[in-house]
């Protein structure tokens, strides 16, 4: 049973923008802070951003000022607006709970390259 579905990735030039979406089942989403994570080739998965149920957010230092996380509680969806993308942002992006992660989805590939 698929519980986390990420989308919106793609190929973008440096300086470009993408908006990622993640639809989660209600049992995963409702009442939980949700986060975005990423994993680049040969590296461990790392935290990118998280948003609490009330809307307050936290960001990794390397995305502050460039990425914005948001959520639509009515749609069980969390978004990641990514601006000023850099080649180092190339990775597979995943969403999950911020605390108490569940089975990971397939993620969405983001490639930043000229």
Cβ atoms within 10 A of the Cβ of 40, count?
Answer: 14
Query: pLDDT tens across 15-69, in order?
Result: 999 999 999 988 888 889 999 999 999 999 999 999 999 999 999 999 999 999 9
Residues 6 or more apart whose CB falls under 8 angstroms from that of 92 comprise 9, 38, 39, 40, 107, 108, 109, 110
Q: Please, where are the H alpha helices in the chain?
A: 26-29
């Amino acid at each position: 049973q698929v519980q986390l579905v990420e989308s919106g990735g793609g190929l973008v030039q440096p300086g470009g923008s993408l908006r990622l979406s993640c639809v989660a089942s209600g049992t995963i989403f409702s009442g939980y802070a949700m986060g975005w994570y990423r994993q680049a080739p040969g590296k461990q998965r790392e935290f990118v951003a998280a948003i609490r149920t009330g809307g307050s957010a936290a960001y990794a230092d390397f995305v502050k000022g460039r990425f914005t996380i948001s959520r639509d509680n009515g749609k069980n969806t969390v978004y990641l607006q990514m601006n000023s993308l850099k080649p180092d942002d190339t990775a597979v992006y995943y969403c999950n709970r911020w605390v108490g992660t569940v089975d990971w989805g397939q993620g969405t590939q983001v490639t930043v390259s000229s």
